[in-house]
Structure 1
């Protein structure tokens, strides 16, 4: 039984990065229908893919990276490999994805 991430509590997630286009036929459209072919933001917030049984689609979250920097993101996408305590952060290009790599982050649901 999964429980939804509790509002206000920080939880540890594994974060990776993805781009709108990839060899596997990514379309540039998120699961919620956003066109991300020309942006990595929605309403001024970063776009992330989540496991909707852990973080509900449409949720706004705060992400704190290992170096202490934080950013707000909105859960607008899902991914086959994104199960459980994982998020996938939309980035502009492959080089940014490689630079982001795989990291442990703290995530809390704002609303």
Structure 2
């Protein structure tokens, strides 16, 4: 082994005094990695070792460093990805998602507006009745099982689901719509009803709401 190394040492020299040329590290012929490393260290040469990630697994990362010249593995590292950080993120997200919505009751004034096509001209688009939030309510005064409510979105955010008590009834509604009369008031909610007669008969009533969900 020593004889073999000695025979190629002239080829490994980083500097040729006779020709005045520098020999680049990547031009040094490959030799067994231990001897190569000892030689380079002895002569103050820092080899450029290109690395590549061979494998990644959940919570552990194994990195294999390969000398591209000799194709030999220089070293292997196994790194733990801290599980603690992952748990903290999950807990924070869970906490954010589960933040309770205040269910304190708030008093509001209620009116009603008609779903009839003849009374919904401002909401008609291509023959369909569409709310201010773009929901098609042509065939129903309900959306996903909730009564449709017109609100002032600066007071009650669109998408909010409300528990409503008014006119001796309790039901859940969703804030999907608005209107000029509602936008100018901070204490009024408009309930979509089937027809004009029902809307007129409803009149103005006092009721209360509490949030089931605030916003989308």
- Report the TM-score, using the length of structure 1 for normalisation: 0.86
Aligned to 1:38: 139
Q: Is 2:156 the counterpart of 1:58? A: no
Task: For residue 23 of structure 1, report the CA deviation from its aligned partner.
Answer: 6.9
- Pick from 179, 182, 186: which aligns with 1:79? 179
Q: Is 2:111 the counterpart of 1:9? A: no
Larger Rg over CA atoms: 2
Structure 1 unpaired stretches of 5+: 1-5
What is the rounded CA distance, in whole Å, between the counterparts of 2:194 and 2:139 in structure 1?
8
Stretches of 4+ aligned residues off by more than 2 angstroms: 23-26
- Root mean square deviation, CA, Å: 1.6
Task: For residue 39 of structure 1, report the CA deviation from its aligned partner.
Answer: 0.5
SS in 1 for 2:163: strand
SS in 2 for 1:110: strand
Q: Deviation string for 1:59-91 (max 9, x for gaps)? A: 000111142x20100000011111201100001
Q: Is 2:156 the counterpart of 1:49? A: no
**Paired residue total:** 105
Deviates more, 1:37-46 or 1:18-27: 18-27
Structure 2 unpaired stretches of 5+: 1-100
- Report the TM-score, using the length of structure 2 for normalisation: 0.46
SS in 1 for 2:111: strand
What is the rounded CA distance, in whole Å, between the counterparts of 1:77 and 1:66 in structure 2?
21
Query: Relative contact order (alpha carbons < 8 A, sep ≥ 6): 1 or 2 greater?
Result: 1
SS in 1 for 2:186: coil
What is the rounded CA distance, in whole Å, between the counterparts of 1:89 and 1:63 in structure 2?
10
What is the rounded CA distance, in whole Å, between the counterparts of 2:142 and 2:181 in structure 1?
22
